[in-house]
Amino acid sequence: MNTPIPRHVTRRQRSQPSRDGDGVDILRLHDFGGGLDPFLMLDELIAAPGDDTIGGFPPHPHRGIQTLTYVVHGGLRHEDHLGHHSSIGAGGAQWMHTGHGIIHGEIPFTDADGLHAFQLWINLPARDKLSEPTYRDVRAEDMSRLTMPGTELIALGGTWLTTDGHTLAGPLDALAGQGAVAHLRLDAGASLSLESHATQLLAFVFDGSLTANGDDLTHGELASFGAGDTLELHGTEHAQLLLLAGEPHHEPIAHHGPFVMNHRHELEQAMRDYRDGTLAVSPTEKGLAKCR
C-alpha cells in the first residue's frame, strides 16, 4: 500500500477589488500567464439584501474560454444570442462553452441574504477554441452533495474523492482541462480529507479560516498546492471555500478583454469577427440583433 503524500501550499494570492460590466464591484483573482492553468480568473460578486444599485453585464462577446457562474445567495439572469433565457437562484450554476463565440448578457439580483456569486474562467485548449458554443444551467437540487457532521461538499463539476472512499461527481461533466469544481462548507473543528492527483489543485477561501494539511488559509486567499495525493482540510472556524482541480494545457495564452486565444493574431481576428458580425452566428437574425 502506497503511503499518502500530503499536498502543501506552494503559492498564495489575495483577491483584489475591481469593477466590470455596468459598474459591478467585484473581487478578482487572475493569472493570464499560465500560473493557474487551465484556470484563468475567478470573480466574486457581493451585494447587500435589497441593493438596487447592482449593475449588470450588458451583452458582450466571448471566444476561447468556458465560464462557470455559481450562486451562493441571490441569483443571476442570462440571455445569449443562441436564444437561451435562464435564471438561477442560490445554489445554482450556469456554464458556457464559448468556443468560436457567444454574445451574452447577465443581470444579478439579490434575495433575503443579498448577492454572493462567483464566475470562473477556464481556458480552452487550442483545438477547441473555435468549436461550437454551448450553454447549460444546473439548479441547486441537481448538484451532487456529500453531507457529514459539520461538513458539506457540493460538487458542481468533475469528480471528487474522499480518502475514506466516497466518490462525488458533479453534473457539469465537460469542464475544460479535466476540470473539477466544488463548494465546501466546514464547521469549526470539522475536517474533510480528499484524494486528488490533479496537477493543478486550488482552494479559494471566501468565508472564515481553515488549515490545509497544517497550512493556514484565511478569508480572501487563493492557495495553490504542490505535488502529492491527499488534502486534509480542517475548519479552525466556520469556513467556506471553492475547490478547483484540473490539468494544464501548457499552451501559449493571449488575452484581450473577453477573448482568450493562443496568439496575438488570433485576438485580432476575434476583434475583427466581432466587429463584422461573424464571431457569433445566431439561429435567427432577430436573436442576433437583440443581443448586439
- Name the DSSP letter for residue 218: -
Nearest to 122 by CA among 178, 57, 183: 178
Distance from C-alpha of 114 to C-alpha of 49, rounded to nearest angstrom: 4
Check residue 281 and give its pLDDT: 72
pLDDT value of position 52: 64
Local mean pLDDT, 10-residue blocks, the chain (292 residues): 90 89 81 98 91 79 98 94 93 97 92 94 98 96 96 98 97 98 98 98 98 97 98 97 98 97 98 94 46 41
- The DSSP secondary structure of 164-201, one letter per residue, reads TS-EEE-SB---GGG-EEEEEEE-TT-EEEEE---SEE
Q: Residue 50: how many CA atoms within 13 Å on its side-chain side?
A: 0
Contact 252, 263 (CB under 8 A): yes
For residue 61, whether the previous peptide bond is cis, meaning omega lies within 30 degrees of 0, is no
Minimal CA–CA distance to 172: which of 122, 214, 216, 132? 122
Cβ-proximal residues to 52 (8 Å cutoff; 6+ apart), any chain:
none
* CB neighbour list of residue 191: distance below 8 Å, 6 or more residues apart: 151, 232, 233, 234, 235
Q: What is the model's pLDDT at position 19?
A: 75
Identify whether the C-beta of residue 88 lies closer than 8 Å to the C-beta of residue 135.
Answer: no
Provide the residue ranges of all domains of the chain, joining segments of one domain with +: 9-246
Q: How far apart are CA 27 and CA 116, in angstroms?
A: 11
Q: For residue 183, what pLDDT is reported? A: 98
The conformation of residue 285, written as its DSSP 8-state character, comes to H
Q: Assign domain 9-246 to a CATH class.
A: mainly beta
What is the pLDDT, as a whole number, of residue 150?
97
User: How many C-beta neighbours within 10 Å does residue 202 have?
Assistant: 22
**What pTM was computed for the model?**
0.94
Locate 176 and state its grid cell. 475544460
**pLDDT at 1 (0 to 100):** 56
What is the grid cell recorded at 219? Answer: 478569508
